[in-house]
Amino acid sequence: MNEETKTAKVPEGVTVDTPPKRRGKTLDIPNLVLDPTLPTIVNPHYTNNAKTEMACVLLRPDGMATQEKNIPTDDKHPVFRDIKRQFSQEELDQNTRRQVEIINALGKAAEEQKTIKDRERSRAKLWEVKSTFMDLPAVKNSELKTLKRKLRSALSPEEAQAYGLAILIKEAEKEDGN
């Protein structure tokens, strides 16, 4: 086969540099011969600051995955021995940092959801109070435009209740005065 070399013209004043070399160490990955009938260890990481317990996912050849927790960092434990054979300390530390970041992100997302839920609950309560007063015939037919406007623009259920009651009191006073 006759392969044709393709070239691209670079605009004037532009240079193409080779990418810079990465700083730092690269991870040494041991060359292992694994038994295909055994589960594959995925994402091993420490679960406490003392590094005395680990967790990982075991992926079985049939595709079933199980979460293994509370694996002691004891050379007598078979799963820990396999982890140490297959993963370097740098990889374990990196996996642990990633797990901590994931847990922190999940906690932050849960807190945001709680905040949103609380805000929606507060808005629903405010709307309920406002609409309760606005549906009353005395408020609906009232000519007290300033108080009605303040009722509609209230920012808290208590404020809405105060303006709604003020309208009802003023309307009752009008009826008693006539």
97, HSE (Cβ side, Cα atoms, 13 Å): 6
Q: What percent of the chain has pLDDT over 90?
A: 44
Residue 170: alpha-carbon gap to chain centroid: 50
pLDDT in tens, 149-163: 999 999 999 999 999
The count of other CB atoms within 10 Å of the CB of residue 13 is 5
Residues in the chain: 178
* pLDDT for residue 63: 82
Helix (H, G, I), strand (E, B) or coil at 71: strand
Checking if the pLDDT of 1 tops 60, the result is no
pLDDT of residue 122: 93
Percent helix, strand, coil in the chain, to 5, is 50, 10, 40
For the chain, give the mean pLDDT: 85
Of residues 134 and 25, more confidence is placed in 134
pLDDT at 134 over 70: yes
Which tokens sit at 71?
């694996």
70-124 tens-digit pLDDT: 989 888 888 888 888 888 889 999 999 999 999 999 999 999 999 999 999 999 9
**pLDDT (0 to 100) of residue 59:** 87
Structure-model confidence comparison of residues 131 and 35, the more confident one: 131
Q: H or E segment at 139?
A: helix 137-140
pLDDT in the model for residue 45: 93
Give residue 54's pLDDT: 93
pLDDT score, position 68: 87
pLDDT of residue 82: 87
pLDDT at residue 130 tops 90 = yes
Sheet hosting strand 65-72, strand order edge to edge: 40-46, 53-59, 65-72
Q: Which segment, 31-40, 57-66, 159-168, is predicted with the most confidence on average?
A: 159-168
- Predicted confidence at residue 160, as pLDDT, reads 93
List the beta strands (DSSP E) in 17-133. Answer: 40-46, 53-59, 65-72
